[in-house]
Amino acid sequence: MRILIIGAGIVGAMTAWRLAKAGHEVEVFEQYGLDHDRGSSYGDSRVVRRVYADPFYTALMADAYPLWEDLQEQVGQELFAKVGGIFFGPADHPDIREAENALAVSGVEYERLDAPECARRFSAFRMREGEVALFEPSMGYVRASRCVRAAVDLATKLGARFHFESAIHSVRAFGAGVGVVTESGEAFGGDRLLICAGPWTGPLLANLGIVSPLQVVRKTYLHLEPQRNAADFEVGRFPVWIDADSLAYGFPRLGEVPGVKIAFHGGGEVVTADEVKRGMGEEERLEFLDYAAQRFPDLSARVSYEKVCLYTNTPDEDFIVDRVPGLDNAFVMGGTSGHGFKFGPLLGEIGMGLLTGGTVLYDLSRFSIDRFKKGVLIR
């Protein structure tokens, strides 16, 4: 089967690898270069964790973890590390309670740490009175850019063709199948098509007359250098972490990019993918510095790295994984809402199943594009 894929981020790269491994002919179109920094799949780190408050995502992550390990084994370099992580906040915070219930039900190993015990184990943290931390040893990180490059390399070695700097002008029916025309005028036909273009997914659907609720949000993150006790921020002494109250999160020092990464999951400016302010403003920077001063007093105000990236959100923060309405041989995967990267290799497996008519082990009705009508969630 000949399959076309639009987008070479984590979903497109992983799907291409799985398809090529199964013997299919694969053509991938990416408007920018390999591992570009304009979308959502670039960078040195993403959080991975086994358990969500939602059991549906917990079940998906149980299958994603072995696939990350398989990818790492295939390429023989560090892509995925279970270094331990904490989810912390006030003991009575509803998200903390839900998370602890989910951990207990799942059977995944965890510990509940009060503020003094958390400070003893992770001395760089400053927790407040009445806060607790749920420590999950299997929590960790994946190396985002390395993972995308690894999947592209594996797919290429198996015969997949990647067309970089090849923006798509149009998608259309092509005989009994489906086709694309690039901005340079080249036409390609295939049996199936997958649109997984991150923040450009909405415009591609719009060109097909499909109004989607996808919303692109500009996000920022930065890295700060320690001013003292630098060893306390190293792997083994500093965990991956998520703050239930502020939705801030971060990582230990990983070496590839200097400093300690801090980001915020919430907030952000609604933008279009092609009109994004790429620099960080002073007010944005001060928000990070204020947070760091409260939680990590051993970090300095020296910014060693800062970056802008994009989320592509749905109203309910569930993904879209479905057939493209009105185009039977085309599928769409998107709207991963800032938490999709950790599912990357599993989304590749799911994409392969959808595109080839193979087995998909999950009820994907929850990810249907038809759950939205005029931008409003249908329940």
CATH number at residue 192: 3.50.50.60
Domain annotation covers residue 55: no
Domain annotation covers residue 100: yes
Residues 41 and 341: their CA atoms lie apart, in Å, by: 7
Domain annotation covers residue 264: yes
Task: Give me the domain span that covers residue 248.
Answer: 85-137+215-313
Same domain, 332 and 194: yes
Domain annotation covers residue 281: yes
Among 313, 331, 366, identify where a domain stops.
313
Question: How confident is the prediction along the chain (379 residues), in pLDDT tens digits per residue?
Answer: 999 999 999 999 999 999 999 999 999 999 999 999 999 999 999 999 999 989 999 999 999 999 999 999 999 999 999 999 999 999 999 999 999 999 999 999 999 999 999 999 999 999 999 999 999 999 999 999 999 999 999 999 999 999 999 999 999 988 889 999 999 999 999 999 999 999 999 999 999 999 899 999 999 999 999 999 999 999 999 999 999 999 999 999 998 899 999 999 999 999 999 999 999 999 999 999 999 999 999 999 999 999 999 999 999 999 999 999 999 899 999 999 999 999 999 999 999 999 999 989 999 999 999 998 754 444 3
Same domain, 305 and 232: yes
Domain annotation covers residue 80: no
Same domain, 19 and 94: no
CB within 8 Å of 173: residues ≥ 6 apart: 179, 327, 329
Among 266, 287, 313, identify where a domain stops.
313
Domain annotation covers residue 74: no
Structural domains of the chain, count: 2
Among 290, 313, 336, identify where a domain stops.
313
Same domain, 205 and 226: no
Domain annotation covers residue 304: yes
> Dihedral angle at the C-alpha atoms of 78, 84, 90, 94, nearest 10 degrees?
80
Same domain, 34 and 164: yes
The CATH number of whichever domain residue 131 belongs to comes to 3.30.9.10
Domain annotation covers residue 67: no
Tell me what pLDDT residue 175 has. 82
Same domain, 357 and 308: no
Tell me what pLDDT residue 378 has. 40
